[in-house]
Structure 1
Amino acid sequence: MTDPVVVGVDGSPSSLDAVEVAAREAALRGTGLRLVHAFGWPSIHVPPGGPPWNPAMAGVRELVDGTLIKAEQRARQAEPHVEIIREVTVGEPLMVLEIESRTASLVVVGSRGLGAFGSLLLGSTAVHLAAHGRCPVLVVRGTPKPAGPVLLAVDGSPAGEAAVEFAFSEAALRGAGLLAVHVWNTWSERAYEGPGDPLNMVVDIERLREEEQRLLDETLSEWEKRCPGVAVERRLVRSRIRPALLEASRDAQVVVAGARGRGGFTGMLLGSVSQALLHHAHCPVTVVRGKD
């Protein structure tokens, strides 16, 4: 059996949605599912006299067991035949799930847990794992279109190669098409399309467009040969990057993006585009880190 799919469980509605998605991902991969509850999450309300580092204390064990039983029931409803392991671990959830990611094929989390403030669009666990996870991290959010494609955000960077590989694999597993979108623009996020565009005055726009098309083609060509069963649609868009990808996510099953692209500062673990997708995409988002 390959490395398991790991899902973080804290009893929140968001985490239970993540459990259902994780069960389906495990079934697609033919692997097991690990339900991981990190004891000490802010969501745990410890009874008087029960220190949070001792899950054997009266009342706390029942609370944890009840959370995992409910999660397992949700997983079995989605995929009855997936092998499930329940794991209760002492430690902060961020560190626990990061460690779990070292031996997982995929880590799945909800977009918000019980500890998230009401005004936050995305919980700290999801952001941290997307930046630090050692395997692809799937954040469950939005409403996926079951018949839609896997949406790949193409930036042509070396760090993004792992995301391309993952997107082709995911499309093959799901029996879905792959929509590869490469968005290019001027030197800023302000997009001009008319003759007054300053860029038109200093460069050959058509030549620049050809260069961007070549980058898109070269990024995909090798993987199209390796995965001939995946139907690929290439889409070159001149626009602001983040709004264009967010709009494309409306009709997708899942978005796949690298952790950081060509425009990221050195040392930045999570770029602005991947952060925008995590916060605002209309469907689940998988962030794939490149090789360190």
Structure 2
Amino acid sequence: MIVDIPATTTRAVGKKLIELRESGGAVTIGRVLTLIVASRDGEQAETAIEAANEASREHPCRVIVLIRGDRSAESGLDAQIRVGGDAGASEVVVLRLHGELAEHEHSVVIPFLLPDTPIVVWWPNEAPKIPAQDPLGKLAIRRITDATKSPDPTSTIKSRLDSYSQGDSDLSWSRVTYWRGLLATALDQAPHEKVVDVTVSGLAEEPALDILAGWLAAKLEVPVHRRTGELKVELKRENSAISIVRPQTGKTATLSRTGQPDAEVALARRETRECLAEELRRLDTDEIYELALKGLSKVSYE
């Protein structure tokens, strides 16, 4: 069910939510958190809503979508409420802010926050320079950004350390979870020689590879080279090597280890909804993500 409420107020939207709940169209029982989706791009907001809906099947929540409308227009609010099949396992409140109201989105969102539940803010495209100091970020215990969608992904992911606060994370980090797991497993197998050199290559504007390189530099404390080329991670030891290679748009990677037959591994690019669901599983500080950001300074770009 989708209910449009044009030219409205937060009070009227709140009343409509209560009406829908009392009529059996929506319930808040079992909602484990409030997810605020701060979309600075109205055209891409629907994609973000779809991802949030899918993530809500694992984490039932209230999703509040903030969309900045025409800044030059008269100050006003258009709203939409989605429940049932149009909202996954959540209830979705879409708030489109026009004019001066767009500068006060944190005030608009407060009446819709679920009481006694954690608050998470996700910026699916452009994010503030310091998320923890943003008015919306101050409301949340977890702040999720996505450097992949920024105008300059490499510079953006490198700048995350300067703006880092406990509770920050980036979806580019979640996109390489399976890569990190596969590399860690391969390193745990014989021969247990020390890694002496690492190369991470792929698309130039792929921050997931940058953060992966930073993680390897921080954990292994060896030279790590970030190159542009085929999608590949290679770990060189004194007498052996480990590599993972995958076509850029492929779903299967090849794991190669010196002295062993190659292995085919399912390693498709993770969808945004999967990465978002993973981030919502843990609301505490991600210390390894912070470590990977610190490791970026040790990566050489070639």
TM-score by length of 2: 0.36
Structure of larger gyration radius: 2
Bigger RCO of structures 1 and 2 (CA < 8 A, at least 6 apart): 1
Which is helix-richer, 1 or 2?
A: 1
TM-score, normalised via structure 1 length: 0.37
